[in-house]
Chain A
Amino acid sequence: MKRHLISAADLSRDDAVLILDTAEEMARVADRPIKKLPTLRGRTVVNLFFEDSTRTRISFEAAAKRLSADVINFSAKGSSVSKGESLKDTALTLEAMGADAVVIRHHASGAPHRLATSGWINGSVVNAGDGTHEHPTQALLDAFTMRRHLAGAPDGGPTHHQGGGDGTGRDLTGRRITIVGDVLHSRVARSNVHLLHTLGAEVTLVAPPTLVPIGVERWPCEVSYDLDSVVPKSDAVMMLRVQRERMNAAFFPTEREYARRYGLDGDRMARMPEHAIVMHPGPMNRGMEITAEVADSRRCTAVEQVANGVSIRMAVLYLLLGGAVLEPAAESAETKAENPNSRTEESK
């Protein structure tokens, strides 16, 4: 594994499968009465959030805490310039406090890349979403969710979730994934296109032409403007959140027209293959890109994705911070205290 996780494009197929497999092991921890591993005891993980995102922050926070890391939440809303402190000075401050990993969410595309490459800090940098660039842990948790549903059966054929461990060691070769919505402004779409392609899936983006970036022809995916023609050929349909204010910039005429042409409703869902799943990174705009009927259906994995997010982020932090051997937390407080390794770490 590399030292940072900035872009899904940086992950090889083996890296990605390793993260997914590790996440499966992490998921098993969540099934135990004590949901905690001692691996990152004494290490400090900073959640540096320049943008509000309670969901992503608590997911990383839960992941770090289940690995016994110390977690510092640093909320620095607003641009660095208007706030008066530069990203550099914030980074130097975190470095001085001894951050082993910085999980950064920033409104500016490329901010995590700058943080990782400018020599401001020595710790690992994890991109928790930068502008309209990437959100690699979201793509990983999406792939994890897809693998559980679509790559789990012994013959590699589609199946519904059959419990932890399904699909371990496998990728998503041949799976047809459709991503629908505001691709232009979506960091989730960018990361997913890279990662799913690396894992062997066939990706199709569906959006009105106004919400597809100029230059998309070089991406490893297909582009369609017609959702109805793609839905029946999809193993998974991922709906992206569409902000209502895009309408004001003339990306589409009205919410109703958007919902009619690019929203997923019960009729469209019924035309999906029987095994196919509906995904959404959240938060959902019910009535816009997805109807309540679909959002609340058995096929929609939105809630499962949230749970899987913690496992994936545990795996990423564990692998980036090189957390020794993967072993379960001690069963009781006494045995934990008797562990000579943990005592040594605590005295550091």
Chain B
Amino acid sequence: MTSTILIRGAKVLGGEPQDVLIEGETIARVGTGIEAEGATVVDARGAILLPGLVDLHTHLREPGREDSETVLTGTKAAAVGGFTAVHAMANTFPVADTAGVVEQVWRLGRESGYCDVQPVGAVTVGLEGKQLAELGAMHESAAGVRVFSDDGKCVDDAVIMRRALEYVKAFDGVVAQHAQEPRLTEGAQMNEGVVSAELGLGGWPAVAEESIIARDVLLAAHVGSRVHICHLSTAGSVEIVRWAKSKGWDVTAEVTPHHLLLTDELVRSYNPVYKVNPPLRTEADVLALREALADGTIDCVATDHAPHPHEDKDCEWSAAAMGMVGLETALSVVQHTMVDTGLLDWAQVADRMSFRPAAIGRLEGHGRPVAAGEPANLVLVDPAYRGVVDPAGFASRSRNTPYEGRELPGRVTHTFLRGRATVVDGKLA
């Protein structure tokens, strides 16, 4: 039996209110005054309708660290956050560096039913940066991997990086680089600057990110490949990517929600909930990142959702794990930092959080226009909502959010994955 859902009066991509009729897995009609007998009606007056969000950068932790997240709990969190597809990073145990592991993650995603899971393959065996993993085998597997990353570690060897960039051209792949010069960041605990000097915490200098990005955009240009920069975090990185794009090189970049909002001043609390890699930077960096996301220099928002068990954050700073959960708060942070500030309209949010990331990942069936005949991957957002973040209510297995107790705007009321509601009235269906 085919289900029929009529979304009534939603502002499609923030535009004029329209009705959207979903039949089965597909959008059947978009228009005004649509009637459909027997359809489940969703009153969406005042809400924004966007294509389902796509995350290029998610840590689902399975296999290996099921104490912090599983594919099931991670995809539930994704659905709550309005995502219909996430890219699962490769730094699991075992590492997703073989066809077997990526297929396992892909299959777990299919079984979860809350959100599509597109595994990312490791660039090198064991993320060790020495030997290329079987990139072709991962691509040809059922998981159909096109995005490769050693995220968590930088592919710092210039020759390995060059080879990876060249090799994936054969199947239109992309290398997503975690840009971190390892020698410059030995013992790094936070952004290097005024605050690290006072707190006596090891510095993670901006140049350690920028020098790798500069090298990699030049390498990509040299070999005619595309490169994607993960979680870009500094004003200097923005300048390099802007320059590379001005040359016409195929360079894309992402920014995390937390780098759009939080600064290293928060580290003064020594509360490890603010410990993340790359680290929180300065106010000037935050403003440069917002501007770059607005003008398209930065292509997309990616969460870098990084769940950690409580004990890994309930300790002294240097012993704590790096990372923050982000799937369930991403859209609110983007509304707060980009929409409510007038930097982006909702159509541009759809671009930065759905169209562009899907295009970079060459993901089929996601990041599509809200139009008849397209897959019904959709999300409804109530932009007028104001709420205080309470991690106790998270769908994620982990609670390491930097936004606890903070008031943020906007709320995902409904998420539809191929016509099936995964979230209804803000709760998992």
Q: Chain A, 212-226, contact with B by CB distance < 8 Å: what is the 0/1 string?
A: 011111110000000
B2-10, B60-68, B196-204, B387-395: which one contacts chain A?
A: B196-204
Q: Do A87 and B198 touch across chains, with their CB atoms under 8 A apart?
A: no
Stretch at the interface among B18-26, B41-49, B73-81, B311-319: B311-319
Query: How long is the Cα–Cα vector from A86 to B189 in the complex, in angstroms?
Result: 19
Q: Is A131 an interface residue (CB 8 A)?
A: yes
Given A86-B311, A113-B270, A214-B205, A108:B318 Cβ within 8 A? yes
Chain A 2-13 interface mask (CB, 8 Å, partner B; 1/0): 000000010000
Shortest CB distance A17–B (Å): 23
B224 beta carbon closer than 8 Å to chain A: no
Do A218 and B194 form a contact, CB below 8 Å, given A110-B201, A133-B200? yes
CB distance A106 to B316 under 8 Å? yes
Question: Smallest CB–CB gap between A135 and chain B, Å?
Answer: 10
Contact B270 A114 (CB under 8 A): yes
**In contact, A108 and B197 (Cβ under 8 angstroms):** no
Nearest CB on A from B197, distance (A) = 3
Enumerate chain B residues within 8 angstroms of A291, measured Cβ to Cβ.
Answer: none
B316 cross-chain contacts in A, Cβ below 8 A: 80, 87, 106, 108, 110-111, 114
B317 touches A215 (CB 8 A): no
Number of interface residues, chain B, beta carbon within 8 A: 24
Q: Which residues of A contact B266 (CB under 8 A)?
A: none
State in angstroms the CA–CA spacing of A255 and B314 once bound together: 41
List residues of chain A with CB within 8 A of the CB of B315. Answer: 80-81, 86-88, 114
Is A130 located at the chain interface by the 8 A CB criterion?
A: yes
| Main SS at interface, chain A | mixed
The reply to whether B200 and A86 contact each other, CB–CB distance below 8 Å, is: no
The reply to whether the CB of A68 lies closer than 8 angstroms to some CB of chain B is no
Flag A78-103 by CB within 8 Å of B: 1 or 0 each: 01110000111000000000000000
Q: Find out whether the CB atom of A109 lies under 8 angstroms from the CB atom of B319.
A: no
0/1 interface trace, chain A 53-65, chain B, CB 8 Å (1 if under): 0000000000000
Task: Give Cα distance in the complex from A171 to B198, angstroms.
Answer: 24
With an 8 A cutoff between CB atoms, is A66 at the interface? no
> How far is A287 from B117 in the complex, measured between Cα atoms in Å?
62
Q: What is the 8 Å Cβ interface bit string for chain B, positions 123-134, against chain A (1 contact, 0 not)?
A: 000000000000
Instruction: Find chain A residues with CB under 8 A from B193 CB.
Output: 214-215
Interface string of A249-266 (1 = CB under 8 A from B): 000000000000000000
Q: Let me know if A80 and B197 touch, CB within 8 A.
A: no
Report the separation of the CA atoms of residues A30 and B194 in the bound assembly, to the nearest whole angstrom: 42
CB of A190 within 8 A of CB of B192, answer: no
- Measured between beta carbons, the chain A residues less than 8 angstroms from B318 are 79, 107-110, 131
Which of A87, A118, A133, A214 is within 8 Å of B199, CB to CB? Answer: A133
**A313 near B: Cβ within 8 Å?**
no
Q: Which residue of B lies closest to A80 (CB)?
A: B319
Using CB atoms and an 8 Å cutoff, list the residues of chain B in contact with chain A.
189, 192-203, 205, 269-271, 311, 314-319
